Amino acid sequence: AQRVTQPEKLLSVFKGAPVELKCNYSYSGSPELFWYVQYSRQRLQLLLRHISRESIKGFTADLNKGETSFHLKKPFAQEEDSAMYYCALGSSNTGKLIFGQGTTLQVKP
């Protein structure tokens, strides 16, 4: 079964602390993974895609096929990073995105 799991509902850190938002997936084919972010009262927007191997706003995510994980990391959290983060799995068969439950990141001053 295709599934995305984000085990933490809420992650609260202080400004300047490292952040890791966990994401594990279950997929029988070759996965395509994304991180989407939803700031307060804004639409969902793409943060990272694994195929691009990019760093956006200081965030990075590495696909680990052995551990079936795609954790999102940032070495020094900023207050403006406070938002809801969703990990999503793309199904090449259907073109659908399967979303995790989401993790609220709260960065305290």
Partner 1 sequence: GAVVSQHPSRVICKSGTSVKIECRSLDFQATTMFWYRQFPKKSLMLMATSNEGSKATYEQGVEKDKFLINHASLTLSTLTVTSAHPEDSSFYICSARDLGGQISYNEQFFGPGTRLTVL
Please give the size of the binding site for partner 1, defined by CB under 8 A. Answer: 26
User: Judged by CB under 8 A, which of 28, 29, 40, 95 binds partner 1?
Assistant: 95
Structure tokens at 81: 């990073």
| Cβ 72 vs Cβ 57: under 8 Å | no
Does residue 27 interact with partner 1 by CB under 8 A? no
- The piece of 14-22, 48-56, 57-65, 71-79 that touches partner 1 (CB under 8 A) is 48-56
DSSP code, position 28: S
Torsion of CA 22, 94, 28, 68, to 10 degrees: -10
Contacts with partner 1, residue ranges (CB under 8 A): 32, 34, 36, 42-46, 49, 51-52, 84, 86, 90-92, 94-102, 104
